[in-house]
Amino acid sequence: MTGLEILGTGRCLPQRCVTNDDMARMVDTSDEWISTRTGIRQRYFCGEDEGVVSLSTGAARKALEKAGVSADQLGLILTATFTPDSFTPSVACQVHEALGCTAAIPCFDLNAACTGFIYALETARSLLMAGSAGEYALVIGAECISRVLDMADRSTCVLFGDGAAAAVVRLADVPYACVLGGRGEAAGLHANSLLPGQNRTLFMDGRAIFRFAVDIIPKCLNQLFEKSGTSLEQVDHVVCHQANSRIIDHVVKKLGAPADKFYKNMHRYGNTSAASIPLALDEMLESGVIRPGQTVACVGFGAGLTWGAVLLRF
């Protein structure tokens, strides 16, 4: 099966870092309350002159530089987000303009919430295989969730952060597998409704989403391993969507897996939705946690409800 090779990654965060102590000055909470329940210590919020397009562009520039690919060599720009700066033009089209791309290529956004980056990777692979996207694709996960938060709701506002990360990919003869799923179930997690009389900020039933996550992650990983003919023991790293450290701890226990195989960085960024998994991958590659030849399983879950997992060889 033709897989995807990640040639370079990059990340971009807003300038403003918001610690748990900073959150405690906005809402009735504390560092101890947040960190013990979620593992989160800080997050980043966009300022007035920052947004999904600027963060995406910054992440894209770094990914292109690391990949040794120019903007004009791109055959596709795809952005996963549920918090675009505008409904239209898409974030991807605005990134195309900001990068100074001269070639006319497919550019569009995709919304699968926190599973968005995995959906976007598989979509990019499909377009590359169809010959519709040249040789190189730029895949971005980016969010500005602070804009849809109710800062008086301590059950949600302390959990999320803003950020972007990008990857330059191309087809390669490497191990690869992907599983995707979704179902219509909006009651537990939804955001920014445009319908009259509806709540325009993010709402989440934390307990319901926790139950969903600890159930779907092992199922999704097992489906991925069955499809790829591999096992958890053969995978070097597992990168879950970084929503809550307790979710990952429960999954580790449920799978009987070594905890150090499951990467965590939510203490630095909070839940950044579609940016979560590529942020982790960029950190891991930059720090040498992921080494050449290693296999990484990424698994996401989010509003929709959506879920998905991808197996990558680096």
Positions annotated as catalytic residues are: 114, 241, 271
Query: In this structure, are residues 92 and 111 in contact, taking their beta carbons and an 8 Å threshold?
Result: no
Complete DSSP assignment for the chain: --EEEEEEEEEE--SEEEEHHHHHTTSS--HHHHHHHH---EEEE--TT--HHHHHHHHHHHHHHHHT--GGGEEEEEEE-SS-S-SSS-HHHHHHHHTT--S---EEEE--GGGHHHHHHHHHHHHHHTTSS-SEEEEEEEE-GGGG--TT-HHHHTTB--EEEEEEEEEESS-EEEEEEE----TTEE----STTS--S-EE-HHHHHHHHHHHHHHHHHHHHHHHT--GGG-SEEEE--S-HHHHHHHHHHHT--GGGB---HHHH-B-GGGHHHHHHHHHHHHTSS-TT-EEEEEEEETTTEEEEEEEE-
Give the C-alpha separation, 211 to 297, whole Å. 21
How far is C-alpha 134 from the geometric centre of its chain's CA atoms? 24
Residue 90 vs residues 111, 138, 161, 288: alpha-carbon distances, Å: 11, 14, 21, 34
For the chain, the distance separating the N- and C-terminal CA atoms, rounded to the nearest angstrom, is 16
Query: In this structure, are residues 124 and 141 in contact, taking their beta carbons and an 8 Å threshold?
Result: no
